[in-house]
Amino acid sequence: MKKTLASVVSLTTLLALPLLTFAQALTSVQSVGQFVINMINTVAVPVLFAVAFVVFIFGIFQYFILAGGDEEKRANGRSLMLYGIIGFFLMVSVWGLVNILVGTFSFNSNPVALPAAPSH
């Protein structure tokens, strides 16, 4: 138990070290929030999509190649393919709902550019 806890703490520390290098640039709460959102959008979401894709591909590989004639392995491959498809569906659905909310309630951080008044 202690070994597992020590490895989790050391892995967390190792993964948090790159964030400390950005500490100088992050001067306000808003910049920290933008940094976190940027990390989620550029790192976490693509990794989740990659995991769902790998699960789906492994399910296909297990269903068609590894199973042979074993129905239990084929059922396991079928369930992995289903889990991969469900993961894709959920992630795309949540992504779409978030974009609908951002577009509807104008949560985007870019200010709207107003047209200039004529100067005659």
43 close to 19: Cβ distance less than 8 angstroms: no
Helices (H) and strands (E) in the chain, counts: 4, 0
94 close to 19: Cβ distance less than 8 angstroms: no
Q: Measured between alpha carbons, how far is 85 from 5 in angstroms, rounded to an integer? A: 33
pLDDT band at 58 (very low <50, low <70, confident <90, very high): very high
Lowest-pLDDT choice from 14-28, 53-67, 93-107: 14-28
DSSP assignment of 59-82 equals HHHIIIII-TT-HHHHHHHHHHHH
| Burial class for 2, CB neighbours closer than 10 Å (0-12, 13-18, 19+) | exposed
More confident: 117 or 77: 77
Is the model's pLDDT at 90 over the cut of 80? Answer: yes
Contacts of 81 (CB under 8 A, 6+ apart): 56, 59, 60, 63
Which residue is associated with the tokens 């949540």?
Answer: 94
Lowest-pLDDT choice from 25-39, 52-66, 68-82: 25-39
